[in-house]
Amino acid sequence: MKSFKALLGATAFVSASAAYGADLEVTHWWTSGGEAAAVAEFAKAFNEKTDHNWVDGAIAGSGGTARPIIISRILGGDPMGATQLNHGRQAEELIEAGLLLDLTDVAEAQGWRDIVFPSSLLDACTYEGRIYCAPVNIHSWQWMWLSHKAFEDAGQDVPSNWDEFVAAAPALSDAGKIPLAMGQQPWQSAGAFGVMSVAIAGLDAWRAVTVDKNAEVAAGPEYAKVFQAAADAREMAANSNVQDWNQATNLVITGQAGAQIMGDWAQGEFQVAGQTAGEDYTCLPGLGVNELLDTAGDAFYFPKQDNADVEAAQKELAALLLSPEVQVAFNLKKGSLPVRGDIDMSSANACMQKGLEILASGNVLPSGDMNLSPDTQGQIEDLMVEFWNDPSYSAADAQAAYADIIANAD
């Protein structure tokens, strides 16, 4: 049965692509240097390997700017051909309302169940047994990036974990460096806090709070340590007056700042700047404390269209996004990890190899996107951005507010 369907699917693709070349508008918010280079790989593959045409619909800003536009267009009856969204709970209601294309037949034809690793990625795309999105990469927040130049200038060794970093911070300040680079957008504040909570409170406490929404743990001593560490980090980041994450990364690249806590997408920026992992910069997964990765990532959704030709093109794109060559090309540029474990990533650099090892060893966490609703995340972001930017906001007050949000989380 399965093979029959696969065959059917395959012939459908062939006949569709022979019959008609569709323009597929693809919206995404990948506009920084490394991201744009990565998405160009998708466009190239789609234009070359199919008869269809990739119409790029980049929306600048972060996901926060882009999502409203994407969603209001889907709701307003003007859906794009495909769109990036973080998988997880963001798309649930769109699926319920029947606005997204069911990709189950593509997934079965391509054997996604067997190749997508870790399988939780596909679970996040699955709703009531049907598959609605194509995961394209694994992104993990759990990284810290350190500038060799900054530490050299300050006469310090490059730290190998969070505690060493904290110890070295005063020397960085004395050398006129910003110890910790932080962009001021809310998602960055919340993300950095998330990384610190996994590393400092430990996996069990993190799981209790994020997955089980246990407000007592959130108000407890483990998290008190996290808030205290964040308050210290706040001082280290006091002079970092940039907005965008890649501006903050740029401070690290140029050695003006010692380190940045940022997801692995920062890798792409180092690459565009021509830097080499291990020589110019160091990456520490889990802040060097807990070598864990969360498996958030980007996925593509395909809003339903009335046009059968377009639908065929959408399915072709979905299949293409997970094909081995495209996965390698895209993820090398993006600095993210591929969604399938069966491809050769030997050309990846030292940091990505570290990530691949951790992934292979199974030290993975579900991502916040998959556990918390966007609403709860929004509340946490509001809290964190205020906490990180207002030195008078005490760690204890922030923790109380945090526990309150967790208590009401859905």
Residues 333, 345 contacting (CB under 8 angstroms): no
Residues in the site for other proteins, rule: CB under 8 A? 25, 27-28, 30-33, 35-36, 39-40, 43, 55-61, 64-65, 67-69, 71-73, 75-78, 80, 90, 92-94, 96-97, 184-185, 241, 243-244, 246-247, 250, 269, 272-273, 306, 373-375, 377-379, 382-383, 385-390, 401
Secondary structure (H, E, C), 177-219: CEEEECECCHHHHHHHHHHHHHHHHCHHHHHHHHCCCCHHHHC
**Integer Cα distance of 341 and 1 in angstroms:** 26
Rounded to a whole number of angstroms, the minimum distance from the CB of residue 226 to other proteins is: 19
**Angstrom distances, CA of residue 126 to CA of 20, 113, 116, 123, 294:** 30, 11, 13, 5, 19
Look at strands 126-127 and 130-131 and give their pairing.
antiparallel
Phi-psi region of 336 (alpha: psi -120 to 50; beta: other; left: phi over 0): beta
- Give the residue with the Cβ less far from other proteins, 75 or 308: 75
- Give the residue with the Cβ less far from other proteins, 86 or 110: 86
- Give the residue with the Cβ less far from other proteins, 137 or 156: 137
- Give the residue with the Cβ less far from other proteins, 32 or 290: 32
In this structure, how many other beta carbons lie within 10 angstroms of the beta carbon of residue 2?
Answer: 9
Long-range contacts of 380-386 (CB under 8 A, 24+ apart): 380/190, 380/193, 380/405, 381/186, 381/187, 381/189, 381/190, 382/186, 384/186, 384/189, 384/190, 384/193, 385/184, 385/185, 385/186, 385/189, 385/190
- Give the residue with the Cβ less far from other proteins, 58 or 345: 58
- Give the residue with the Cβ less far from other proteins, 54 or 165: 54
**Integer Cα distance of 191 and 38 in angstroms:** 23
Helix (H, G, I), strand (E, B) or coil at 230: helix
Rounded to a whole number of angstroms, the minimum distance from the CB of residue 215 to other proteins is: 16
Rounded to a whole number of angstroms, the minimum distance from the CB of residue 399 to other proteins is: 15
- Give the residue with the Cβ less far from other proteins, 64 or 220: 64
- Give the residue with the Cβ less far from other proteins, 111 or 391: 391
Rounded to a whole number of angstroms, the minimum distance from the CB of residue 7 to other proteins is: 33
Rounded to a whole number of angstroms, the minimum distance from the CB of residue 357 to other proteins is: 30
Rounded to a whole number of angstroms, the minimum distance from the CB of residue 129 to other proteins is: 21
Look at strands 130-131 and 143-147 and give their pairing.
unpaired
Rounded to a whole number of angstroms, the minimum distance from the CB of residue 384 to other proteins is: 9
**Integer Cα distance of 32 and 12 in angstroms:** 36
- Give the residue with the Cβ less far from other proteins, 205 or 298: 298
Helix (H, G, I), strand (E, B) or coil at 146: strand
Residues 100, 304 contacting (CB under 8 angstroms): yes
Rounded to a whole number of angstroms, the minimum distance from the CB of residue 389 to other proteins is: 3
Residues 377-387 as b/e (b if ≥16 CB within 10 A, e otherwise) read: bbbbbebbbeb
- Give the residue with the Cβ less far from other proteins, 33 or 202: 33
Residues 104, 130 contacting (CB under 8 angstroms): yes
Rounded to a whole number of angstroms, the minimum distance from the CB of residue 382 to other proteins is: 5
Rounded to a whole number of angstroms, the minimum distance from the CB of residue 82 to other proteins is: 13
